[in-house]
Amino acid sequence: MKSKVFFIRARRGEPAEEIARKARELYLALGFNERIEPEDFVALKIHFGEKGNKGHVKPRWITGIIDEVLKRSQRAFLSDSNTLYVGNRSNSVDHIRLAWEHGFTPDVVKVPIIIADGLVGRDKTEVRVDGQRIKSSRIASAFLMSDAMVCLTHVTGHVQSGVGAAIKNLGMGCASRAGKLDQHSVVHPRIEARKCRNCGVCIQYCPAGAIVQLNGHVAIDDEKCIGCGECLVVCKFGAVKMKWDEDSRRLQEKMAEYALAVKNHFGEKICFINFIMQVTKDCDCMAKTQESIVEDIGMAASLDPVAVDRASIDLVKQQAGRDAFRAGYNIDWSVQLSYGEKIGLGRQDYELVEIES
């Protein structure tokens, strides 16, 4: 049986109120809102965007969805978890202040912000997985204290998983800092000394202090490396390398298993909305403005995270006339989809239902 994916066309050039109207219509098409009970805690999972990032989902785009959720329960809140790397989103105080800077203020979104893994990312709950890669997941506690979730995702490329969409937002985004480290622990870059210019830029960006300067080139200390991939993104000379086939596959499989742990917690009380606008080569963790790799497409929604990601990727490929994600990083992004399907996270076979706007 095919999973149903609803789709509506939208572009950033439209007024925010019009995008919010379309997002509301898309959300209501799912029939999900009726599943929310008056006493439910409802987590609206979102990425607020790193400081300097302009590609994240805009707060005014989701006001229509929030209005509908609040009709069912007044216990809704926007949420994310703290980052593994040190920065503006690695503790709850700075994280919330950054969200405010990006417009997620109470007067606009009408709901509070709660960072799900506490002040410094230590509030976690272990969930048994018994998967091929993960035996026990470490999920940010506030998510597991919630009764329902609306997963709001900006579709992008990604330096380690090829694509960052609903599965990543659920698996990596709902993990505590310990859970993120668990997933990244297999991904350790290496330095190709002959290409290294010893400029030191990667040292400045490394959150773990794992890069040291030697005579003529830098080196990475595996004992300190957390596998965040920042060095790969900032190196202009191609000196940082990863074993993509091996490392990315394991990361994506771990990510899917974490996503399954979260999805299983909510059962039928979780839905997924993907924003396929300003699709960029890198994810919203990048503290910079990025050009789109494809023209704006719209929004897709489903009760199935695998199906909504498959549909989103297919729409991007159709619009670009090529695999725009692999053009950014030559990574087999399909691993997270096929493995997610294998473990029961969802289906890749979908029916696309376009809503006329």
d(CA 339, CA 352): 22
Same domain, 176 and 287: yes
Q: Which domain holds residue 70?
A: 3-184+245-354
Which of 241, 256, 284 is a domain's end point? 241
Domain count across the chain:
2
Residue holding tokens 């917690």? 265
Q: Is the dihedral of CA 198, 203, 206, 211 positive or negative?
A: positive
Residues of the chain with pLDDT > 70: what percent? 97
Same domain, 179 and 116: yes
Same domain, 310 and 177: yes
**Three-state secondary-structure class, residue 67:** helix
pLDDT of residue 87: 78
Answer whether 0.75 is exceeded by the pTM. Answer: yes
106-136 confidence digits (pLDDT tens): 999 999 999 999 998 889 999 999 999 989 9
Q: Within the chain, how many helices (H) and strands (E) appear? A: 13, 16
78-115 confidence digits (pLDDT tens): 999 998 776 789 899 999 999 999 999 999 999 999 99
Same domain, 68 and 213: no
Residue 88, beta-bridge partner list:
none
Same domain, 111 and 227: no
152: nearest Cα among 259, 279, 62:
62
**Three-state secondary-structure class, residue 65:** helix
281: nearest Cα among 162, 170, 139:
162
**Token pair of 115 as six digits:** 């960072």
Are 239 and 195 in contact by the 8 Å Cβ rule? The answer is yes
Phi and psi at residue 284, to the nearest 5°? -75, 0
217: nearest Cα among 234, 189, 194, 188:
194
C-alpha distances (whole Å) from 112 to each of 117, 129, 197, 272, 309 are 15, 31, 46, 20, 28
C-alpha distances (whole Å) from 164 to each of 47, 125, 204, 243, 331 are 11, 24, 25, 19, 12
What would the mean pLDDT of 295-320 be, rounded to a whole number? 98
**pLDDT tops 70 at residue 159:** yes
DSSP 8-class letter at 339: H
Same domain, 180 and 201: no
pLDDT band at 264 (very low <50, low <70, confident <90, very high): very high
Same domain, 14 and 94: yes
281: nearest Cα among 291, 267, 266:
291
pLDDT of residue 65: 98
pLDDT of residue 239: 92
Same domain, 201 and 301: no
pLDDT of residue 242: 67
CATH of the domain at 216: 3.30.70.20
Same domain, 235 and 121: no
Residues of the chain with pLDDT > 90: what percent? 80
DSSP output for 88-117: TTSSHHHHHHHHHHTT--HHHH-S-EEETT
**Token pair of 119 as six digits:** 């002040």
Cα 84 to the chain's mean position, in Å? Answer: 14
CB within 8 A of 215, min separation 6: which ones? none
d(CA 114, CA 105): 12
**pLDDT tops 80 at residue 229:** no
